[in-house]
Amino acid sequence: MKELGTDVQLLPNHTTPQKSDTYFSRKMKSNRQLVFCSLAVLAEERNPLECLDAFGATGIMGLQWAKHLRNAVRVTITDISDTCVKMIKENCELNNIRVDGGQRGPRGPDRAGAEAETTPIATVEVAKMDANVIMHLRSFDYIHLDPFGTAVNYLDAAFRNIRNLGIISITSTDTGSLYAKSPNVTLRHYGCHIVRTEYYKELAARMLVASVCRAAARCNKGIEVLLTVALEHFVLVVVRVLRGPSQADESAKKLRKLMHCQWCEARVFLKLGNMVDDTLPCDCHGSLPGKTAVQLGPLWSGPLFNTGFLRKMLSAAVRHSMDDIQPLVKTLICESEGTTLKSLVHGSSVLTSQAECGVVIKTLQSGDEARLADLTGKRKSGEESGNVLKKLKADASLEHPPFYYSIHRHSIRGMNMPKLNKFLQYLMEAGFRVSRTHFDPTGVRTDATLQQFKSVLTKYSVPTFTKAATSTQTSVSSENPA
């Protein structure tokens, strides 16, 4: 099997993880490419990078890193299975990559004494070791966790030795618990109460980020979420690690409960503090019997994307000819900016600066001053500078709206909805921020409330005329000629 120029051998039962150690899924191709692009962006910022693929299986992900990024990365692939380690070494030979067993693992084939036919294009360290063990023993700049099922058992070890401003990517495939199919398992693994909602995929993503944030805080580290993707088979979260108790406290403040209406599916994050606030932006509690609201969470209430990082990922996808994920990354950029796909600007921009990608840690004031200097070419002082800084802070506070509404879920009975792209334009004309979302092909992410969303939808929906009604009108008109 060949993917992204990398050849791997597969066992006959590679599609059944219960029966095969060397599990491989072709459906996870987009996940592997997104992880690769995130690593490529980090490699542009600093290199060489110490990278860990903690669950190698066939080793295809680590081999892709080494084959395409070459000297910019030092790849370590580990797995607890002897069969997997043997398969990874064979796949290294297949791709002309030298195997280095390292000090703690079995040695790979030593070519020092024998003259090789071709010079290896890269070197990969392969070791038989538990993921928690190697993450406790060594420090890395980039860690990818992709276990079979939930990844919460490995988060504490991952954050223990990760270097400052390093990146951790987590792929969770336990969609049964993430997508509210098994609430008891969800509570056991993630410590969250959830129900099935129209925005269940984003709910799963925010629940996973909340678990990541708590694990980081236990190690006195904070996180910046760079990328969040939830598709049918997996949930992928990519975060940058920010060291220090203050960073941990700031991240922990973004963990909040969510108030959700079980009738109309209106939702709102509760404010910080211990005061009980059960107000929803709907009147279902007054017009319908019984209790209508439930508390979900705790969930991550902060942003799910970093626009500058996503733009760099798009450049990496174009550079490495990853045509499959380019539409997805473009949708993520629009989703993070709150814009439509037509307004997506390609090429370099101020959003791709290091400060926007979370590389440089500054206070809010110093960061805004730096952005002001970049935009104007000089530093301003006094009242003029203060006014511009206030505007920059106001723009920075306009984070992308949490959650989305499904246009089909809130359609009006007996009415034909407008086309989705037309509806986005109508919302923009009404003064709202709006974008599509990768979580749901019929979803609309907007800062409008549910009532405002429905009012615009009602305004531009047209009545449905059935054939029976049309024939009745025709017969009436024939009986009563004008």
Eight-state DSSP code of residue 328: H
Provide the pLDDT for residue 106: 39
Domain ranges of the chain: 2-272+280-300, 365-389, 405-463
The 10s digit of each residue's pLDDT in 344-366 is 654 444 344 444 454 443 333 44
Q: Which secondary structure element, helix H or strand E, spans residue 331, and what is its range?
A: helix 326-337
Q: What does the pLDDT average to over 257-270?
A: 93
Which residues are CB-contacts of 256 (< 8 A; sequence separation ≥ 6)?
269, 270, 271, 272, 297, 298, 299, 301
Residue 12 — pLDDT band, cuts 50, 70, 90?
A: low
What is the CATH class of 405-463?
Answer: alpha beta
Q: In 3D, which of 195, 424, 418, 431 has the Cα closest to residue 299?
A: 195
Distance from C-alpha of 458 to C-alpha of 138, rounded to nearest angstrom:
58
The 10s digit of each residue's pLDDT in 126-178 is 999 999 999 999 999 999 999 988 999 999 999 999 999 999 999 999 999 99
CATH architecture label of 2-272+280-300: 3-Layer(aba) Sandwich (3.40)
Q: Match 């009404």 to its residue by tokens.
A: 430
Q: Which residues pair with 283 in a beta bridge?
A: none
Q: Share the mean pLDDT of the chain.
A: 83
Residue 11 — pLDDT band, cuts 50, 70, 90?
A: confident
Whether residue 266 has pLDDT greater than 80: yes
The 10s digit of each residue's pLDDT in 365-395 is 444 444 444 444 444 444 544 554 344 344 4
Q: How far is CA 341 from CA 58, 201, 330, 421, in A?
A: 37, 21, 7, 10
Global pTM exceeds 0.85: no
Q: What percent of the chain has pLDDT over 90?
A: 65
Q: What does the pLDDT average to over 440-463?
A: 94
Q: Match 């992928």 to its residue by tokens.
A: 236
The 10s digit of each residue's pLDDT in 401-439 is 999 999 999 998 889 999 999 999 999 999 999 999 999
Whether residue 237 has pLDDT greater than 50: yes
Of 212-221, 283-292, 315-324, minimum mean pLDDT range: 283-292
The 10s digit of each residue's pLDDT in 67-86 is 999 999 999 999 999 999 99
DSSP calls for 140-160:
EEEEEE--SS--GGGHHHHHH
Whether residue 481 has pLDDT greater than 60: no
Of 25-29, 85-89, 127-131, 289-293, minimum mean pLDDT range: 289-293
What SS3 string covers 406-444? ECCCCCCCCEECCCHHHHHHHHHHCCCCEEEECCEEEEE
Provide the pLDDT for residue 21: 64
Burial class (CB in 10 A: 0-12, 13-18, 19+), 44: middle
